[in-house]
Amino acid sequence: MIQNIFADALMAAIPDLPEDQIRAGIEIPKEKTMGDFAFPCFRLAKAFRKAPAMIAPEIAEKLKDNPLFEKVEAVGPYVNVFIDKEHWAQSVIRDFMEADQYGSGTEGIREDGTRKNIVLDYSSINVAKPFHIGHLRTTVIGNSIKKLHEFLGYNTISVNHLGDWGTQFGKMAVAYQKWGDPETVDARGVRGLMDLYVRFHEEAKKDPSLDDEARAAFTRMENNDEEILSLWQRFVDISLKEVSRVYDLLDVQFDSYNGESFYRDKMDAPIALLREKGLLKESEGAQVVDLSEFNMPPCLVLKSDGSSIYATRDIAAAIYRKNTYDFAKCLYVTATEQILHFSQVFKVLELMGFEWAKDLVHIPYGYVSLEEGKLSTREGNVIFLEDLLNEAIAKTRDIMNEKNPDLENLEEVAQQVGVGAVVFHDLFNNRIKDVTFSWDNVLNFDGETGPYVQYTFARCSSVLRKAGEMEEQVPDASKLTDEYAQEIIKLIEDFPNRVREAAKKYEPYIISRYTVAVATAYNKFYHENSILNADDPETRYARLYLTKMVAYILKTGLSLIGVKAPERM
């Protein structure tokens, strides 16, 4: 990192100031014209017994002759430096060449070479409910966080904690037995199951005894009644079959589909432990953990009829995951409405004495709405994600047919760009922010979009293709000192930091925005400089090498947010 040069020089110039204070003190000036880095001298006033504005010129004087600095200035209490451009480019190129996979890391690898495990619970769909665009967020955010951690050396275990247990399945079973037609349900899939669910509620309004039947059916499920469980299994299979088509489009995979039903026989031990620790209290017939001390409502563990609930299964699931995967962290990606649920569950686990409860992290995200109006299941205007993705592909196909009708694998590219556009759009903002989905924003090839970044990658690929085979050599950094090349160099230098920041904050948008910045910088460079027709072979090679680095950064950056990078489009 180039900043080290400045830190080293400062350490030599101010030997009395500890290294960490020097490093922490370095700033990046807001105005580029002020310099690449700045060091404020306020903290030195006491030791030097001088005003900061008097100290700055002294330090500047000591740094002045360092050939790695193009210019050193004292401005008021600040020492500002401009790094030598050639040196800067050289240092970034060296880092890039030396790395196996530039930007990746070893944070996830222990000294003995073993990898730390990260469990990621995301997507976690509800069986027999639509996979709508709201669920897209947990899926793509989770997938990106997974890729970011893998890039940093962690071993990841992605879990689809299926919502496949609960009284609603008793209702489904009753409805299916009464009115279900296997052929219609097979043909209509989840829509067919939803029809039955709606019908159940309509009929139950007229005939409340249906609710009793449903409860009885669920009790049979809980008692492992084979007949009813085979019905339930059908619902699960129908849902999984449908959702797997979406996962294929998104290229998302899971290591485990252990959902809520998986824990139905794993709750006795945790409940016994809760009892033993005196944590369970009776409240209106139900068993709860009192959390008033922590300013939270009580966590319901057992309903008055003795049945478990969502939270009980999450308690059991966390323990199972710790025992099975010995995770360094276990992450849960859901909408903000579950913030309280996870705070309660994590707190209960902590009270149970599990030291690792501190390693459980909830990653909430905001809502998605369609431009036309809010998405809602109740109003019946649900947009199925699969339809939305297929529409994105169709729209992209139309655009491609106009722009580049001769493209060989047009269908494949339309899929990568169409789906990529939707994913990119979803990951473009701080995840807590609500998102409004509008086609114009999603598919704009010139805006801050997936297609724009993909298009820039295809541009780089085209330049490199036209250049033909190149013998790998160290490019001449003195040819990359123009303003446009320098802008790219600085962005490339920042890639490893951005990856770490995105992983640490669980924020894919840091990467998506970064790829837009790199693409924009490259497009400016491309328009301002001749690459293939550069004046001399050294300049040509240096610019091609820069193009190669940009291509790598864009492709890797996109892959970290789960978006493909076609070479032609």
Pick the closest to residue 60 from 85, 35, 43 (CA basis): 35
Pick the closest to residue 116 from 148, 150, 143 (CA basis): 150
Annotated catalytic residue 129: yes
Interaction with ligand ARG in 11-30: which residues (CB under 6 A)? Answer: none
What does the radius of gyration of the chain's CA atoms come to, in whole angstroms? 29
Determine, following the binding rule CB under 6 A, whether residue 332 of this chain makes contact with ligand ARG: yes
Spot the catalytic one: 50, 62, 129, 395. 129
Nearest distance from C-beta of residue 122 to ligand ARG, angstroms = 8
Nearest distance from C-beta of residue 163 to ligand ARG, angstroms = 3
> Which one, 317 or 393, has the nearer CB to ligand ARG?
317
Annotated catalytic residue 135: yes
Please work out, in degrees rounded to the nearest 5, the angle formed at the alpha carbon of residue 368 by the alpha carbons of 362 and 371: 170
> Which one, 121 or 487, has the nearer CB to ligand ARG?
121
How many residues of this chain interact with ligand ARG, rule: CB under 6 A? 9
Determine, following the binding rule CB under 6 A, whether residue 270 of this chain makes contact with ligand ARG: no
Q: Which helix (H) or strand (E) holds 289?
A: strand 286-289
> Which one, 315 or 553, has the nearer CB to ligand ARG?
315
Q: Residue 70: phi, psi to the nearest 5?
A: -80, -35
> Which one, 318 or 565, has the nearer CB to ligand ARG?
318
User: Which of 334, 415, 515, 539 forms a contact with ligand ARG (CB under 6 A)?
Assistant: 334
Where on the phi/psi map is residue 561: left (φ > 0), alpha (ψ -120 to 50), or beta? alpha
> Which one, 121 or 507, has the nearer CB to ligand ARG?
121
Determine, following the binding rule CB under 6 A, whether residue 493 of this chain makes contact with ligand ARG: no
Contact 381, 388 (CB under 8 A): no
241-251 burial, b for 16+ CB within 10 Å, e for fewer?
ebbeebbebbe
Determine, following the binding rule CB under 6 A, whether residue 322 of this chain makes contact with ligand ARG: no
Q: Residue 154: phi, psi to the nearest 5?
A: -75, 155
Nearest distance from C-beta of residue 334 to ligand ARG, angstroms = 5
What single string gives the DSSP state of each residue in 11-79?
A: HHH-TTS-HHHHHHH-B--SSGGG-SEEEE-GGGHHHHTS-HHHHHHHHHHHHTT-TTEEEEEEETTEE
Please work out, in degrees rounded to the nearest 5, the angle formed at the alpha carbon of residue 546 by the alpha carbons of 541 and 551: 120
Nearest distance from C-beta of residue 311 to ligand ARG, angstroms = 9
Nearest distance from C-beta of residue 32 to ligand ARG, angstroms = 45
| Token code pair at residue 476 | 């001449």
Contact 356, 350 (CB under 8 A): no
> Which one, 311 or 554, has the nearer CB to ligand ARG?
311
> Which one, 23 or 329, has the nearer CB to ligand ARG?
329
In sequence order, which ranges of 207-261 are alpha helices (DSSP H)?
Answer: 209-222, 226-250
Nearest distance from C-beta of residue 221 to ligand ARG, angstroms = 18
| Number of Cα atoms under 13 Å in the Cβ half of residue 548 | 23
Spot the catalytic one: 87, 116, 135, 479. 135
Interaction with ligand ARG in 152-211: which residues (CB under 6 A)? Answer: 161, 163
Pick the closest to residue 395 from 449, 456, 459, 460 (CA basis): 449
DSSP state, 358?
A: G
What distances in angstroms separate CA 482 from CA 92, 162, 476, 528, one per listed residue? 15, 54, 13, 10
Nearest distance from C-beta of residue 133 to ligand ARG, angstroms = 13
Nearest distance from C-beta of residue 123 to ligand ARG, angstroms = 8
> Which one, 314 or 448, has the nearer CB to ligand ARG?
314
Pick the closest to residue 444 from 425, 428, 426, 416 (CA basis): 425
Nearest distance from C-beta of residue 332 to ligand ARG, angstroms = 5
Annotated catalytic residue 116: no
> Which one, 50 or 329, has the nearer CB to ligand ARG?
329
Spot the catalytic one: 132, 147, 322, 479. 132
Interaction with ligand ARG in 92-151: which residues (CB under 6 A)? Answer: 121, 124, 126
Determine, following the binding rule CB under 6 A, whether residue 539 of this chain makes contact with ligand ARG: no
With both helix axes pointing from N to C terminus, report the angle between 385-403 and 226-250 in degrees, rounded to the nearest 10.
20
What distances in angstroms separate CA 273 from CA 108, 191, 270, 354, 487, one per listed residue? 33, 41, 5, 11, 59
Determine, following the binding rule CB under 6 A, whether residue 312 of this chain makes contact with ligand ARG: no
Q: Using the Cα atoms of residue 388, residue 393, residue 399 and residue 401 in order, give the sign of their dihedral.
A: negative
Interface ranges with ligand ARG (CB under 6 A): 121, 124, 126, 161, 163, 314, 317, 332, 334
Report the catalytic residues. 129, 132, 135
